[in-house]
Amino acid sequence: MQRRTLLHGAFGAVVAVTTGAALASAAGSSGRAEARSTLTLIAPAAPGGGWDGFAREAQQVLRGASIVNNVQVVNIPGAGGTIGLSQFVGQTGSEDTLLVTGGVMVGAIALDEGDTTLADVVPIARLADDFAALVVPADSEIQDLDGFLAAWKENPRGTSIGGGSLGSIDHLMSGRLAQLAGIDPKDLNYIAYSGGGEALNSLLSHTTTAGSSGYNELSDQIEAGTLRALAISSPERLDGIDVPTFTELGVDIAMSNWRGLVAAPGITEEARAEFTAIITEMRESAEWKDTLQRNDWTDSFLTGDDFAQYIADETEQARGIVSDLGL
């Protein structure tokens, strides 16, 4: 498999200019407005994506629970969140802006091998986990994970898995599953799609053998009987979700598309403490608990040095998988 270089191209340059201007304007009040008064949440993805949805859910709770007076969301799409990250790192000392981050960005950084990483920002909090499910069409001959692994071993390159972008949790989980099943990860036939609708259509039309995506994105199809869930990547069974984990089926995989928030480099300790207090208050609100339940997100709250260590561990794991996949 050839290495995929994440080139932004002419379109990426236009996005960088326009969204960069928006970000500079949003962050320009840093030092003049406290985060409790005006807060900007940067979603490093296009409107309608997972990070955008997370940012807007947080926006609604922060406003609705009267935690922050004015909250705006700025979108900076591209390259698995790394364009937004690069621009955000340039906003040194911004004390009224937070960037949404998560597992997808960790994978994109591991793929891109650029100069900017999550070590360049200030971890504030991990808030939620969204676990990936491995699914097949309901009319597939594959009935369970053992059946899928048997078919995969028999014909590795002919057994395709559709999912999100290269470097996403869907991709990394598929690579780790191949490795643990005794299949050379370089033989992984992973087909990346830019949107969930495309991935679902390819699965239902049997263009791909199986699919990997966040359970919340597949739950309606699973409950309707259109898709069959073989396993989920949570460390233990999730309440109200009748899907076995990889671990209980004998495959040592526990991965999440976690979501969290980081601050710009160069902020003061007082600003970091205030950001942490704001997000802790949001997490403890009744409105946020409702948000978690509505989106099938699992609470995974972590702050400070513990969150920083978690990011370091996730980064090391992602780099290992990317290396194994030969990307």
SS3 of 82, please? helix
As a whole number of angstroms, the distance between CA 211 and CA 232 comes to: 12
> Which among 185, 178, 129, 126 has a CA at the least distance from the CA of 152?
178
The separation between CA 79 and the C-alpha centre of its own chain, rounded to angstroms, equals 13
Is the pLDDT assigned to residue 227 strictly greater than 90?
yes
As a whole number of angstroms, the distance between CA 108 and CA 171 comes to: 11
Is the pLDDT assigned to residue 325 strictly greater than 80?
no
As a whole number of angstroms, the distance between CA 188 and CA 138 comes to: 23
- Paired residues of 97 in beta bridges: 40
Q: If pLDDT is split at 50, 70 and 90, which confidence band does 68 have? A: very high
Element (H, E) at 31: none
Decide: residue 33, CB within 10 A, 0-12 exposed, 13-18 middle, 19+ buried. Answer: middle
- What tens digit of pLDDT does each residue of 169-217 get? 899 999 999 989 999 988 999 998 866 678 888 899 999 999 998 888 8
Percent of the chain past pLDDT 90, that is, above it, reads 65
Is the pLDDT assigned to residue 5 strictly greater than 60?
no
80 Cβ contact list (under 8 Å, min separation 6): 6, 104, 105, 107, 108, 109, 111, 112, 165, 167, 168
Is the pLDDT assigned to residue 11 strictly greater than 80?
no
Is the pLDDT assigned to residue 250 strictly greater than 90?
yes
Residue 181 backbone phi and psi in degrees, to 5: -85, 0
Determine which of 45-49, 211-215, 271-275, 294-298 has the lowest per-residue pLDDT on average.
45-49
Give the CATH class of 132-249.
alpha beta
Is the pLDDT assigned to residue 57 strictly greater than 50?
yes
> Which among 312, 291, 303, 315 has a CA at the least distance from the CA of 63?
291
- What tens digit of pLDDT does each residue of 21-41 get? 444 444 444 444 588 999 999
Does the domain formed by 9-130+257-324 have CATH 3.40.50.620? Answer: no
- What tens digit of pLDDT does each residue of 126-139 get? 999 999 999 999 99
* pLDDT the model gives residue 194: 66
Is the pLDDT assigned to residue 19 strictly greater than 60?
no
99 close to 44: Cβ distance less than 8 angstroms: yes
Is the pLDDT assigned to residue 6 strictly greater than 50?
no
Rg of the Cα trace of the chain? 20
* pLDDT the model gives residue 111: 85
Highest mean pLDDT (candidates 146-155, 177-186, 318-327): 146-155
SS3 of 98, please? strand
Q: What does the pLDDT average to over 221-245?
A: 94
Q: What does the pLDDT average to over 228-257?
A: 94
Domain locations in the chain as residue ranges: 9-130+257-324, 132-249
Output the CA torsion sign for 42, 45, 46, 51: negative
DSSP structure string for 141-195: S--SHHHHHHHHHHSTTTSEEEESSTTSHHHHHHHHHHHHTT--GGG-EEEE-SS
Q: If pLDDT is split at 50, 70 and 90, which confidence band does 9 have? A: very low
Domains 9-130+257-324 and 132-249 agree in fold: yes
As a whole number of angstroms, the distance between CA 3 and CA 222 comes to: 34
As a whole number of angstroms, the distance between CA 229 and CA 219 comes to: 9
Q: What does the pLDDT average to over 142-163?
A: 96
DSSP-derived pairing of the beta strands 70-75 and 38-43: parallel
Q: If pLDDT is split at 50, 70 and 90, which confidence band does 49 have? A: confident
Q: What does the pLDDT average to over 156-170?
A: 89
As a whole number of angstroms, the distance between CA 213 and CA 197 comes to: 11
Q: Half-sphere exposure of 57 toward its Cβ, with a 13 Å CA cutoff?
A: 24
When the pLDDT of each residue in the chain is averaged and rounded to a whole number, the result is: 87
105 Cβ contact list (under 8 Å, min separation 6): 44, 80, 81, 82, 85, 118
Instruction: Count Cβ atoms below 10 Å from residue 254 Cβ, excluding itself.
Output: 15
* pLDDT the model gives residue 28: 44
